[in-house]
Amino acid sequence: MSNAWHIGVIGGSGLYDADLLEDAQQITVQSPFGEPSGPVTTGFLGDVRFTFISRHGTGHRLTPDAVNYRANIDVLKRCGVTDILAISAVGSLREAMAPGHFVAVDQFIDRTAGRERSFFGPGCVAHVGLADPVCARFAALAGDAAEAAVADLHRGGTYVAIEGPQFSTRAESRMFRGWGGDVIGMTGMPEARLAREAELPYAMLGMVTDNDSWRDEEAGVEATDILAVLGANADKGRATLRALADLLPADRTPSPVDTALEHAIITAPDQRDAKLIARLDAVAGRVLF
């Protein structure tokens, strides 16, 4: 089994530019879970392979609830990715986490609704552990890279995932603060759930773009506020990826997440649905076949 890193990156289209990767190729990869957000772009940063997918598609054409999170994760698994770094715009629920800062998220509160949350289902039931939804090792490496790229970094933070596409009311924003939320966004879930089911260690760097709507002295968040910060944050994101390529150990030792499905599938083999099993060839092939 290879001990090389292959980093999957899920982010906005502004995160990738033509000069970032060496030997870059754009590839269309099909998934049995439907259409992914778009093609992947794969290439090298130094000696490390990186494969990018734009979460919202080219030109940000997909709303958060329209993203096919299952297909995106499945496609990255099919590409041979070993670990996933999600880079996402977030609103801040804490004074200390100011616009322009990065947050290495380590927990999630899922307030989304109606999204496909699992690769599994009737005919093949699985229950993965999600107490710690972020891979501590990979999150630490991503945090080190963000600090090396001169980003103001907060290590640890709870991400509140809302359905959107509207931003929160002031009452909701204050409630999420009371729940212990630190940042808020619309895409972290079910992305982190699905990465765990696919046995892919997942880390998220939240790029703070605004203060959400909990501060009485400020107007509520608007899309123009976010766009004003995104450009500078995208530059920091690209610098972080370059730093990550330099900081990764030469050999990738196994992560506990690599075997997250080891005892998670509980449907008896003779009761498993053949069509569903066929769709799970990439995500769960290690334990099913």
Active-site position among 182, 212, 225, 258: 212
Which pLDDT band holds residue 15 (cuts at 50, 70, 90)?
confident
DSSP character at residue 201 = -
Portion of the chain with pLDDT greater than 70, in percent: 94
Domain locations along the chain? 86-284
Cα–Cα dist 220/217, whole Å: 9
pLDDT at 151: 76
43 Cβ neighbours under 8 A, 6+ residues apart: 20, 21, 22, 23, 24, 25, 49, 50
Which pLDDT band holds residue 13 (cuts at 50, 70, 90)?
low
Q: Is 216 a catalytic residue?
A: no
pLDDT at 278: 98
260 Cβ neighbours under 8 A, 6+ residues apart: 128, 129, 196, 197, 199
One of 3.40.50.1580, 3.40.50.2300, 1.10.287.130, 3.40.50.300 is the CATH number of 86-284, namely: 3.40.50.1580
What's the whole-number average pLDDT of the chain?
A: 93
Q: Taking the model in full, what pTM does it have?
A: 0.95
Cα–Cα dist 20/181, whole Å: 33
Q: Is 212 a catalytic residue?
A: yes
| Closest-CA residue to 172 (of 156, 157, 187, 160) | 160
Average pLDDT over residues 266-273: 97
| Closest-CA residue to 12 (of 110, 88, 109) | 88
Average pLDDT over residues 71-99: 96
Active-site position among 74, 144, 210, 225: 210
pLDDT surpassing 60 at residue 62: yes
Q: What is the pLDDT of residues 215-247, one digit of tens each?
A: 777 666 666 667 767 777 778 889 999 999 999
Q: What is the pLDDT of residues 126-150, one digit of tens each?
A: 999 999 999 999 999 999 999 998 7
